[in-house]
C-alpha cells in the first residue's frame, strides 16, 4: 500500500515540482504557493498527499507550518521498486539462459 501511495503522489507534476523545491530546504504553504499558479489551499491539498505518502513531513513554527522533504522515504521506495523490477546480478536472465540450454536438442 505504501508503494501505491508514493507512486500516486509522484503522478502529479506539481507535486514532483514541490518535492524539488523542498529538496533545497523547508518551506511553508504560502512560500510554495508563490512558486505556482495555484491557491494556498490547493498547494495544501498537494502537500497533504505528499505527507500521507511519507515523502514530506511538517512542523509548526509560530503561525506557519513548514514542510520538508523526507529524502530517505523517496530513495528507499524508488530503489526498492527498481531492485524488484531489475534485480542486481540479473538472476532472472541466468534462469532464462539455463532454461533455454535445457530446451536445446542434443546434437
Closest CA relative to residue 51, chosen from 31, 32, 68 = 68
Residue % of the chain over a pLDDT of 90: 64
Using one digit for the tens of pLDDT, what is the confidence trace for 20-63?
A: 999 999 999 999 999 998 999 999 999 999 999 999 999 999 99
Radius of gyration of the chain (CA): 21
**What's the CA gap between 52 and 69, in Å, rounded?**
13
What's the distance, Cα to Cα, between the start and end of the chain in Å? 51
Architecture of domain 2-103: Orthogonal Bundle (1.10)
80 — pLDDT class (breaks 50, 70, 90): confident
DSSP 75-87: HHHHHHHHHHHS-
Query: In the block, which residue shows the cell 530546504?
Result: 25
Q: Can you give the residue ranges of every domain in the chain?
A: 2-103
Amino acid at each position: 500500500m505504501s508503494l501505491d501511495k508514493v507512486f500516486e503522489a509522484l503522478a502529479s507534476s506539481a507535486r514532483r515540482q514541490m518535492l524539488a523545491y523542498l529538496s533545497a530546504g523547508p518551506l511553508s504553504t504560502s512560500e510554495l504557493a508563490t512558486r505556482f499558479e495555484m491557491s494556498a489551499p490547493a498547494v495544501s491539498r498537494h502537500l497533504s498527499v505528499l505527507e500521507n505518502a511519507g515523502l514530506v513531513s511538517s512542523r509548526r513554527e509560530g503561525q506557519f507550518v513548514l514542510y520538508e522533504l523526507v529524502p530517505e522515504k523517496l530513495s528507499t521506495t524508488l530503489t526498492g521498486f527498481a531492485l524488484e523490477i531489475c534485480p542486481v546480478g540479473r538472476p532472472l536472465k541466468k534462469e532464462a539462459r539455463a532454461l533455454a540450454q535445457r530446451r536445446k536438442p542434443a546434437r
